[in-house]
């Protein structure tokens, strides 16, 4: 059987699949050519990440397909229910990238509170001539330790982010409409573990109490954070979105930043990917990354291995 990993797959996954007798194709086929390629090569498994879209046209036109796999958590680029109604297996790897996303959130948080996102832009330009001015401009940093992190969405990634926050000495509060509490186990290098139990609270209470807010929610029709939510937040709060583009109202975000209601924001995802708005990209109070939450070597190896295990279990 042939497997097309159209958006790539880690070597660990390729090796596991080939050892199980599958033929793995790593060709990147353009979206408009995908149906012809799948049919011509009789592809049984189509693996994607976020770039390739698997809609009804592909599902209907490709009778050889048995499995559609998404390397990651969200499956908004796949018509999941329709595929399952047609008898296809749809799989993903919901746990593999959780810690990678959590670390990116904290890369942004640490960078923002010490002005690294601006310093790394301005030091190459003016570091030799305006060193003292830049030192003064970036001398009012704050520490994360002792501050309150509010987490909206307390599933796997939200809980992984909470663990990093607890390790950094932060207080964690969380909101999740489907979860009343969560037990978190922090593992340390020497084998010790520490357990925390966190009860979720209302969304408004998280917004009112948190110094820093991070979103870990699925794509949805309405904004999770817009003008009303910004008004509830603490003056000078910071917000991070490494979940899905469109859960924060970016127009309202810019307004909140311009007014000083929100001091800083970090975005790994955008309403208009892959062409974010210029007013977002050029705002000096926004820390930016190009949707790389799961883009670590470790996460990609876990994703590849998990996809391979599921495919082998289904087809063997």
**Domain 98-288 in the same topology as domain 2-94+297-315:** yes
Note the pTM of the prediction, 2 decimals.
0.90
pLDDT tens, position by position, 287-311? 999 999 999 999 999 999 999 999 9
What pLDDT shows up at residue 316? 82
Residue of 89, 14, 150 lying closest to 314 (CA atoms): 89
pLDDT at 13: 96
Q: Is residue 170 packed enough to be buried (19+ CB in 10 Å), middle (13-18) or exposed (0-12)?
A: buried
pLDDT digits (tens, 9 = 90+) for 180-193: 999 999 999 999 99
Q: Which CATH number fits domain 2-94+297-315: 2.60.40.1930, 2.60.130.10, 3.30.2350.10, 3.40.50.720?
A: 3.40.50.720
pLDDT reported for residue 235? 98
Query: Span 98-288: which CATH code?
Result: 3.40.50.720
Q: First-to-last CA distance in the chain?
A: 11
User: What is the per-residue pLDDT across 85-110, written as a single tens digit (0 to 9) for each?
Assistant: 999 999 999 889 999 999 999 999 99
Active-site positions read: 244, 273, 291
- pLDDT in the model for residue 144: 98
pLDDT of amino acid 121 = 93
Structure tokens at 222: 């309405």
Q: What is the residue-wise DSSP string for the chain?
A: -EEEETT---HHHHHHHHHTT-EEE-----GGGHHHHHHHHTEEEEEE-SSS-B-HHHHHH-TT--EEEESSS--TTB-HHHHHHTT-EEEE-TTTTHHHHHHHHHHHHHHHHTTHHHHHHHHHHHTTTSHHHHHHHT-----STT-EEEEE--SHHHHHHHHHHHHTT-EEEEE-TT-SEEEEEEE-TTS-EEEEEEE---HHHHHHH-SEEEE-----SS-SBSHHHHHHSPTTEEEEE-S-TTSB-HHHHHHHHHHTSEEEEEESS-TTTTS--HHHHT-TTEEE-SS-TT-SHHHHHHHHHHHHHHHHHHH-
User: Which tens digits make up the pLDDT trace of 29-44?
Assistant: 999 999 999 999 999 9
Q: Where are the domains of the chain?
A: 2-94+297-315, 98-288
Residues of the chain with pLDDT under 50: none
Which pLDDT value is given to residue 224? 98
* Structure tokens given for 195: 């357990």
């Amino acid at each position: 059987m042939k497997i097309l990993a159209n958006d790539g797959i880690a070597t660990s996954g390729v090796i596991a699949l080939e050892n199980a007798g599958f033929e793995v194709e790593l060709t990147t086929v353009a979206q408009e050519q995908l149906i012809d390629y799948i049919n011509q090569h009789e592809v049984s498994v189509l693996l994607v990440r976020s770039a390739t879209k698997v809609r009804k046209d592909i599902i209907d036109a490709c009778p050889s397909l048995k499995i559609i796999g998404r390397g990651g958590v969200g499956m908004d680029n796949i018509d999941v229910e329709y595929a399952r109604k047609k008898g296809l297996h749809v799989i993903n790897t919901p746990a593999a990238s959780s810690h990678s996303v959590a670390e990116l959130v904290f890369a942004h948080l640490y960078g923002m509170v010490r002005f690294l996102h601006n310093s790394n832009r301005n030091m190459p330009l003016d570091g030799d001539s305006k060193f003292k001015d830049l030192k003064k401009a970036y001398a009012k940093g704050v520490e994360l330790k002792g501050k309150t992190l509010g987490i909206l969405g307390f599933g796997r990634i939200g809980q992984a982010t909470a663990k990093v926050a607890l390790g950094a000495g932060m207080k964690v509060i969380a909101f999740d409409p489907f979860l009343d509490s969560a037990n978190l186990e922090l593992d340390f290098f020497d084998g010790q573990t520490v357990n925390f139990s966190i009860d979720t609270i209302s969304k408004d209470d998280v917004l009112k109490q948190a110094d820093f807010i991070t979103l870990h929610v699925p794509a949805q029709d309405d904004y999770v954070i817009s003008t009303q939510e910004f008004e509830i937040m603490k003056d000078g709060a910071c917000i991070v979105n490494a979940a899905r583009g469109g859960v924060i109202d970016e127009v309202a975000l810019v307004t909140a930043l311009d007014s000083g209601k929100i001091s800083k924001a970090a975005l790994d995802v955008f309403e208009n990917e892959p062409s974010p708005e210029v007013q977002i990209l050029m705002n000096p109070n926004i820390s930016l990354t190009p949707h790389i939450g799961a883009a670590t070597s470790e996460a990609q190896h876990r994703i590849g291995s998990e996809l391979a295990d599921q495919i082998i279990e289904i087809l063997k």
